Every structure is written in C-alpha cells, then in structure tokens.
Structure 1
Amino acid sequence: MKIYSCCGTESITKKYFCSECGGSTFEEKEVSDAGTVYSYTKIHIAPAEFADIAPYNVVLVALDEANAKVTTRIEKDVEIGDKVSLDRIENEAYIYKRIS
C-alpha cells in the first residue's frame, strides 16, 4: 500500500498540500497493508447502490507500518483490536479480512 508523508503526517491519499504544515512536498513509500481495527460500525440500512450487500461493516484500520488509517469494508464481524489485512480491492474500495 502506498503512503504519502510530509512533516510526520501520513495519508493513503496523495494531497496537494499537507494539512499540518501546508507543504506540498510528499515522500511516497510502500508499507504493509496489515493493521488493527481502530473503530467500526455495521451498516444495516444501506444506500441504494450497496443495498444488495447490507448488512456490512465499515471499519477504520490503523496501519501497522504507518501513522495512517484507512477506511475499509469487512464482510465478517470484527472487534476493536482485531488484526486485519487487505483481501482485495473491489470497485475502488478496500475490502479487508480478519487474520489470526
């Protein structure tokens, strides 16, 4: 997974300006997609385009090798602190899975 960093602030999306210092020079690096469930919610009543997969979990994952978080979807139930990793990218969305 690519991470973009400036002044210690890291993000999975490339930005024009750093939200902390206003700089525009970003270092790009590859990090593991593994992480830990930071927060989650289960969507029961989904928007029309996602109604066919409801209920589903939207999960905020703190990456292990970066000071960044990624919003993902996970098909199985999870708890805060569970270890997860990228399973696939589907329709430009990160789909993670719980790992042992």
Structure 2
Amino acid sequence: MIVYECCGIESVTKKVYCSSCGKEITNEYEVPDVGTVYSYTVIQVPPAQFAHLAPYTVALVQLNNTEAKVTARIADQVNIGDEVKLEKIVDGAYLFKKNEVLHNS
C-alpha cells in the first residue's frame, strides 16, 4: 500500500494538496499490507447494493509502520487488536483477512 504524507498527516487516499497546509503533497512511501484492527462493526442491515454480503464486518485498520488507517471489509470475525492482511481491492474497497502467519507465530 502507498501512504501519502504532509505535515505529519498520513493517508492512503491520494490527494494533490495537503488539507492542513495547502501545499502539494510530494511525500509518498510504501508500507506493508498488514495492520491491526483498531475498531470494527458488524453490518446486519446494509444498503441494498450490499445486501448479498450481510452480515459483514467493516473495520478501521491501523497500518503497520505508519499512523495511517484504512476502512476495510473483513471476511473473518475479528476483535480489536487482531492482525490482518490486505487480500485484494475490489471496486475500490479494501478487503482484509486475518493474517494466519502472524496469528500462528
């Protein structure tokens, strides 16, 4: 994953200008596709376009080696503090799964 940074604010969303100082964002770097579940919720009654997925988990994932967080759908049941890994990106949505390598260590 690529993280974009300016003024100490990190984001996985590419922006041309910093929302804090207004300067052009030129700092970008790659971080591992691994993170920790910071918060989560289980969606029981979704919008119509996601009804086929219900129930599903949406989590805020704190990416390793950065302050950036990403909102993601997670296929597994998770708890705060679980380590997860990016599985794929579908239609702009990040899909994570529990990182078994990290859980079995």
Q: Give the structure-2-normalised TM-score.
A: 0.89
Q: Give the structure-1-normalised TM-score.
A: 0.93
> What is the alpha-carbon distance in structure 2 between the residues aligned to residue 4 and residue 43 of structure 1?
29
Contact 2:57 2:77 in 1 (8 A): yes
What root-mean-square deviation, in Å, do the aligned CA atoms of Structure 1 and Structure 2 show?
A: 1.1
Matched position secondary structure for 1:16:
coil
**Correspondence for 2:20:** 20
Identity %: 53
**Correspondence for 1:9:** 9
Matched, 1:93 2:93: yes
What is the count of residue pairs matched by the alignment? 100
Q: Which runs of 5+ in 1 are unaligned?
A: none
Matched position secondary structure for 2:21:
coil
Task: Give runs of aligned pairs for residues 56-67 of structure 1, distance below 5 A.
Answer: 56-67=56-67
Matched, 1:82 2:82: yes
Q: Which runs of 4+ in 1 moved over 3 A?
A: none
**Correspondence for 1:48:** 48
